[in-house]
Amino acid sequence: MKSLKSLFRTSVKPVSTVADVSLQRQRGLTAIELIIGLAVIGLVIAGVAITAQTMFRDQRVNSEVQRALLMQQKARAYLATSTTTANFSDNVAINASIVPADAVNGTAINSKFGGTITFNPATLATTTDGLAVTYKSVPAKDCINFAKAVGDSFAGIAITTSPTTPATIPTTPATLAAPPAGSVKTIGGTYNEATAITACGTTNADIALYFSKV
């Protein structure tokens, strides 16, 4: 016959083993839950970052659209009594306050896209009867959204991944010809979104916005 001490040891041991197994399982579940929790937090942070980046891009594009429309309006008012745009330049745009003060950097005009803005006389229907405002080095996504937003507000739009105007405008600015056939928007034509998406490329592009002086 087993002693009372032996029976006590036999009966207690399984209880201790079950408790240890239960505790181990509990610890295992806690670690898994922690890993899942960290993964969820990571996804939330990534989602917030993407949303913030998109909102910032939209705000930047909307702000530049308003600038472009305002510059067009002020340039037309300045040229109301002129018969030609031949002598219109960056300096004229700056000195006549056609360009917003926060865009002026010395003799350069900066856009919110990180590049510069240049003004050139342009030929739409007759020689130097309009202007071309060129946004240099616009990121691809901004390029697509910006071009679409201003598509109906300008007479013509040309987009290229190669420079469309000289980096520095000379004393007598070069006259730009109207956007050729196949452009994003020819003079008097309609905006072609598919062409714009292709023209904006995958890196940076130049966008020339054409409008008449009246």
Q: What is the pLDDT of residue 58?
A: 82
pLDDT exceeds cutoff 50 at 170: no
Residue 32 in tokens: 């898994």
The C-alpha atoms of residue 39 and residue 169 are separated, in whole angstroms, by 53
In a domain, 76, yes or no: yes
In a domain, 186, yes or no: yes
| 111-127 confidence digits (pLDDT tens) | 999 999 999 999 999 99
In a domain, 140, yes or no: yes
Residue 137 in tokens: 């080095």
Residue 204 in tokens: 């940076």
Neighbouring C-beta atoms of residue 31, cutoff 10 Å? 10
Alpha helices in the chain (DSSP H): 4-78, 90-95, 140-150, 193-200
In a domain, 118, yes or no: yes
What average pLDDT does the segment 201-210 reach? 91
Task: Domain of residue 68: give its range.
Answer: 49-212
The pTM for the full model equals: 0.72
What single-letter DSSP state applies at residue 208? E
In a domain, 31, yes or no: no
Q: What is the pLDDT of residue 2?
A: 52
Q: What is the pLDDT of residue 141?
A: 92
In a domain, 169, yes or no: yes
In a domain, 19, yes or no: no
| 55-74 confidence digits (pLDDT tens) | 555 899 999 999 999 999 99
What CATH number has the domain bearing residue 125?
A: 3.30.1690.10
In a domain, 38, yes or no: no
Q: Please report the beta strands in the chain, taking only residues with DSSP state E, as ranges in sequence order.
A: 104-105, 108-109, 117-123, 130-139, 156-160, 176-177, 204-212
The C-alpha atoms of residue 63 and residue 82 are separated, in whole angstroms, by 29
Work out how many domains the chain is built from and give that number: 1
Q: Which of 20-29, 72-81, 161-170, 201-210 has the lowest mean pLDDT?
A: 161-170
